């Protein structure tokens, strides 16, 4: 019987007959055979490398490798039990913080519904964009999304594109503001019947799976009241601060007080940038000097003073606010009484953030770009 002569290339040629089912390549071509082939007489040993320890094909590939050597070289080769299995341990990839390219994240919140929180959020976003800032707006009011209508994009379609190997949602852009809303993804005529966890997961996707890019301000129109959605937002994002929206009447002020208490509590601990008193008075469009206090007078201003928070502005009731909200033309686009009131709020928010940043240690300060 002729002496069995073995050498590494002979082993590799035999192993080229073994294909890995996951990609259809042979295991040599797929670089699964390590360069550690050892031959001692008719005894052969080497290592096979798999991507993960739970690979379902490990056992079958090892058996196929043994069979290939016995079939294509010689049945006299001693191979059984001499194949080592290894897995590639990939270096941990740094996890990018959500909205890492956003300078300031601002929550717009209210203790109860019906106080005009979404109107304030949409017009504040437009006012900041008019000042030349890069602005994004997330409609986080999962159960009552209103931004699609307020920006006149109810029938818009959402698309995705690939960024750094990831498929990301492309926010719509309107009036210089990047916008995303759950309203773009559900039937606008149907109620959203989701449990809290489903709503929170959908919201996280709109934050982390969207291509928001570089922004100076990212505004979040939060659901009214206090809920696990609020906890999801503060746990997912490093929120710069919150703007509280209320109306002057006592029932709204009581709920605003609860909202402020939630954000300043130990579990949440998010700074209050200030309070906006919406529907502060009624002003006829043609007689801006006239004021009619329909829901009480200075309620929001008094609450801000009592709690030691900044009064960011008082927004009058003007008929065109409702009209423009319905026709997708935010009032902040116009130099009217109401439009200028929202511009004033925008300036106050910018100042409040500057004050907050100046009270932080140098390592926590953020820079503003315009």
For residue 146, is pLDDT > 80? yes
- Half-sphere exposure (Cβ direction) of 295: Cα atoms closer than 13 Å: 22
pTM (predicted TM-score)? 0.70
Cβ(44)–Cβ(38) below 8 Å: yes
CA 54 to CA 224: how far, in whole Å?
A: 45
Q: Which helix (H) or strand (E) holds 255?
A: helix 250-264
Residues 98-114: tens digit of each pLDDT: 888 999 999 999 888 88
Please state, in angstroms and as integers, the Cα–Cα distance from residue 310 to each residue in 135, 314, 336, 353, 365, following that order. 23, 12, 24, 11, 20
Domains of the chain: 8-87 (3.30.300.130), 102-364 (3.40.50.300)
For residue 361, is pLDDT > 60? no
Q: Quick one: residue 136, left, alpha or beta (phi over 0 = left, psi -120 to 50 = alpha)?
A: beta
CA 279 to CA 36: how far, in whole Å?
A: 77
The per-residue pLDDT for 48 is 93
Residue 199 token pair:
């709503």
CA 233 to CA 99: how far, in whole Å?
A: 12
CA 358 to CA 299: how far, in whole Å?
A: 30
The DSSP bridge pattern shows strands 177-181 and 135-139 to be parallel
On average, the pLDDT of the chain sits at: 85
CA 238 to CA 243: how far, in whole Å?
A: 15
Residues recorded for the chain: 370
Q: Quick one: residue 58, left, alpha or beta (phi over 0 = left, psi -120 to 50 = alpha)?
A: alpha
For residue 36, is pLDDT > 80? yes
The per-residue pLDDT for 106 is 95
Per-residue confidence band for 229, with pLDDT thresholds at 50, 70 and 90: confident
Residues 159-177: tens digit of each pLDDT: 889 888 888 999 999 999 9
Per-residue confidence band for 189, with pLDDT thresholds at 50, 70 and 90: low
């Amino acid at each position: 019987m002729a002496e069995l002569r073995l050498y590494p290339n002979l082993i590799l040629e035999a192993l080229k007959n073994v294909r890995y089912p996951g990609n259809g390549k042979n295991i040599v071509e797929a670089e699964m055979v390590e360069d550690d082939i050892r031959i001692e007489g008719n005894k052969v040993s080497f290592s096979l490398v798999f991507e993960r320890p739970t690979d379902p094909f490990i056992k079958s590939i090892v058996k196929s490798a043994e069979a290939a050597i016995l079939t294509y070289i010689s049945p006299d080769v001693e191979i059984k039990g001499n194949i080592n299995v290894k897995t590639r341990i990939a270096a941990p990839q740094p996890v990018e913080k959500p909205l890492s390219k956003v300078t300031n994240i601002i929550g717009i919140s209210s203790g109860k519904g019906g106080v005009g929180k979404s109107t304030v959020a949409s017009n504040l976003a437009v006012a900041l964009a008019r000042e030349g800032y890069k602005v994004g707006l997330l409609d986080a009011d999962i159960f009552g999304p209103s931004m699609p209508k307020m920006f006149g994009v109810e029938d818009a379609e959402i698309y995705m594109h690939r960024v750094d190997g990831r498929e990301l949602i492309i926010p719509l852009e309107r009036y210089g503001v990047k916008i995303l809303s759950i309203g773009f993804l559900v039937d606008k005529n149907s109620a959203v019947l989701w449990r809290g966890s489903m709503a929170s997961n959908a919201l996280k996707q709109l934050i982390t799976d969207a291509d928001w890019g570089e922004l100076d301000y990212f505004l979040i129109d939060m659901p009214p009241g206090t809920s696990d959605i609020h906890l999801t937002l503060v746990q997912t994002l490093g929120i710069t601060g919150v703007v509280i929206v209320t109306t002057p009447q006592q029932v709204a002020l009581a709920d605003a007080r609860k909202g402020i208490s939630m954000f300043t509590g130990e579990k949440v601990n998010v700074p209050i940038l200030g309070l906006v008193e919406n529907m502060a008075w009624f002003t006829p469009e043609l007689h801006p000097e006239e004021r009619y206090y329909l829901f009480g007078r200075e309620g929001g201003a008094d609450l801000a003073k009592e709690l030691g928070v900044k009064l960011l502005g008082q927004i009058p009731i003007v008929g065109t606010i409702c009209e423009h909200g319905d026709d997708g033309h935010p009032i902040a686009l116009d130099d009217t009484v109401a439009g200028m009131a929202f511009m004033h709020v925008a300036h106050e928010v910018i100042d409040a953030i500057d004050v907050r940043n100046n009270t932080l240690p140098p390592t926590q300060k953020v820079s503003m770009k315009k």
